[in-house]
Amino acid sequence: MLPALVFLALVAFAAALLGSPHAGRAATLHLFLAVGAMPLIFGAMGYFIPVLTRTRAARAGVLSVPILGLAGGALAVASFSLPGMAWGRYAGAFLAAMAAGTLLVWSGRRRAGMLGRPHPGLAWYDAALACLLCALLAILASAIWPQQWTALRRLHLHLNTLGFVGLTALSTLSVLLPTVTGRPDPNVGTRLRHDLPWAVAGALLVALGAAWFGPLAWLGGALWSIPLLRLGASWLRLYRAEIFALHGAAPLLAAALAGLALSLLAGAAAAALPALAPTSAFVAGFLLPLVSGAASQLLPVWLRPGVQGPWHASLRNNLGRYGGARAALFCMSGILAGAGLEWGVLLGGATLAWFVLQAVGALLHAAIIPKDNTP
């Protein structure tokens, strides 16, 4: 299912980028986040939570959670795109909340049934799911308090971006880049444990500030910047050569971290500079390099689980070819999009199309390599 979810995310991103001049902002953003990113994150959590808790792989029931999330996301997009579908935002929020709650309960059971302590990344996943649940409950609450619709919508947006997607991404990036480089980060566990309170508090304060009391958002942004700066400093110290390489997934993952910081900075400055577009910077500078970089590293594992061999190495090398050049283009796209220039988003879309075409070629090449080439 995970390769299919990666493909779905790329298709949803492409559809959102191609349709952005014609669709409304809310429909486009939900196509990115609710249809593209959310089911993929649910699927990735279903894969990684057993790894983090050292327990058996997820059963079919849990693996169907992304489908439930996808149904909720599709209803949300329809509610902003089709006449007479206003009810879809509440039905979609309810379905997505069911999916997030199922994963959160399942994660807690895995934690309770394991031997020893779980990896600290598990707490980040739990916090991310809790933020998503709160974001979805805010939409459901707007049906009862319509006079608070604008505030609850802002709360929903920021708990989704900095809370759900941001917390998931930062914890995954902390572990994924050392895996990509083949050199461990000895401080990753300690840093994840210490940085989680800063990130959660920052996401909550930004969301509450955007909804009701602006100064809280500044404080929240400052708190969120602490784990970003600490992770970025660690990466520059340990993985500088891989980050600034021409090929590989590492430059894309580093670009995603930079894009997240850029969108946070744009959000903080948007009150003084209304022309800035933090959500566009989030999508073009963070979401696109994150998904393409993670796919470059993880698709070979998800396509053929088990012992890694020459087939996996060959596919990974082909997926990551010119990753450094794409990372630079994504960074430029995030800056331009965050400055409110529409062609910055188009640059991100063209760069994503480059990766999709390259990935199709790499997968076709990998399909003709016999499986017995993998020991």
> Is 337 part of a structural domain of the chain?
yes
Number of domains in the chain: 1
User: Considering only CA atoms, which of 353, 361, 359, 367 is closest in space to residue 14?
Assistant: 353
pLDDT at position 375: 42
Do 294 and 172 contact (CB within 8 A), yes or no? Answer: yes
Give the tens place of pLDDT for each residue, 59-95.
Answer: 877 878 999 999 999 999 999 888 888 899 999 999 9
> Is 278 part of a structural domain of the chain?
yes
> Is 88 part of a structural domain of the chain?
no
Cα–Cα distance for residue pair 333/352, rounded to 1 Å: 11
User: Considering only CA atoms, which of 279, 211, 257 is closest in space to residue 31?
Assistant: 279
For residue 278, count other CB atoms closer than 10 A to its CB.
21
User: Considering only CA atoms, which of 75, 94, 5, 74 is closest in space to residue 43?
Assistant: 5
pLDDT at position 60: 76
For residue 370, count other CB atoms closer than 10 A to its CB.
7
Domain that holds residue 312: 245-370
> Is 285 part of a structural domain of the chain?
yes
Cα–Cα distance for residue pair 322/329, rounded to 1 Å: 11
For residue 298, count other CB atoms closer than 10 A to its CB.
23
Alpha carbon of residue 91 to chain centroid: 23
pLDDT at position 271: 67
Q: Where are the alpha helices (DSSP H) in the chain?
A: 2-19, 25-30, 38-53, 60-63, 65-81, 88-113, 121-142, 149-158, 166-181, 188-211, 214-238, 240-243, 250-269, 278-281, 288-303, 310-320, 323-338, 342-367
User: Considering only CA atoms, which of 309, 59, 258, 298 is closest in space to residue 175?
Assistant: 298
User: Considering only CA atoms, which of 234, 217, 99, 94 is closest in space to residue 177?
Assistant: 234
pLDDT at position 374: 45
The one-digit pLDDT tens for each residue of the chain (375 residues) are: 788 999 999 989 988 887 655 567 888 889 999 999 999 999 999 989 998 998 888 887 787 899 999 999 999 999 988 888 889 999 999 999 999 999 999 999 999 888 888 889 999 999 999 999 999 999 999 999 999 999 999 999 999 999 999 999 999 999 999 999 999 999 999 999 999 999 999 999 999 998 998 889 889 999 999 999 999 999 999 999 999 999 999 999 999 999 999 998 888 777 667 778 888 899 999 999 999 999 999 999 988 887 888 899 999 999 999 999 999 999 999 999 999 888 888 899 999 999 999 999 999 888 876 554 444
Cα–Cα distance for residue pair 124/174, rounded to 1 Å: 11
Residue type, 28: T
For residue 64, count other CB atoms closer than 10 A to its CB.
16
> Is 358 part of a structural domain of the chain?
yes
pLDDT at position 20: 56
